[in-house]
Amino acid sequence: MGNGFYYETEIGKIGIVENGTAITNMYFGDIIQQDVNIEETPLLKKANEELQEYFSGKRKNFDLPLEAEGTDFQRKVWKALQEIPYGETCSYKDIAENIGNTKASRAVGMANNKNPIFIFIPCHRVIGSNGKLVGYAAGLDVKERLLEMEKRNVG
């Protein structure tokens, strides 16, 4: 059993969960959807500090141990997401090509949807090939705010 804690952020309340060595999950709102001790640990405190620095524009890269549980394919996609530079976007097709599976755009979208550590694994930076914002667990308005904030703070 891990530990989790809630933090107020610019986009609302976020629950962060860790397993003792790495961040494993994040949740929008005030319900952590797994059995954890609600206790702030040094790792959760560091995760919140980095998240707050990100929202204030001071942090462009995270320095946290992450351990997202998923299939081999999902982990490959999530790794590719972490390579998208701050303030930039790419398409699901770009990610599919990046991981060597050009026909996997739809599967990339599904892996994005299952990303358990949003923001730290920046799935919000993936958009449709037509340039439109598509899908985000917290809603497209939050995705748009995150992308606009990053564009403002590039440099």
Q: Please name the residue that has the structure tokens 């702030």.
A: 40
CB 126 within 8 A of CB 91: yes
Q: Predicted confidence band at 99 (pLDDT cuts at 50, 70, 90)?
A: very high
65 pLDDT above the threshold of 70: yes
Nearest Cα neighbor of 126 from 134, 137, 118, 116 is 134
CB 60 within 8 A of CB 29: no
155 pLDDT above the threshold of 80: no
Helices 72-81, 105-113: crossing angle, 10 deg rounding: 80
Q: Predicted confidence band at 129 (pLDDT cuts at 50, 70, 90)?
A: confident
Domain residues of the chain, as ranges? Answer: 2-55, 72-153
**What CATH code is assigned to 72-153?**
1.10.10.10
Instruction: Point out the residues that are catalytic.
Output: 123
- Average pLDDT on 112-125 reads 94
Q: What is the pLDDT of residues 38-51, one digit of tens each?
A: 999 999 999 999 99
30 pLDDT above the threshold of 90: no
State the virtual CA torsion across 70, 42, 28, 136 in degrees, nearest 10: -50
Q: How many CA atoms lie within 13 A of 27 on its CB side?
A: 13
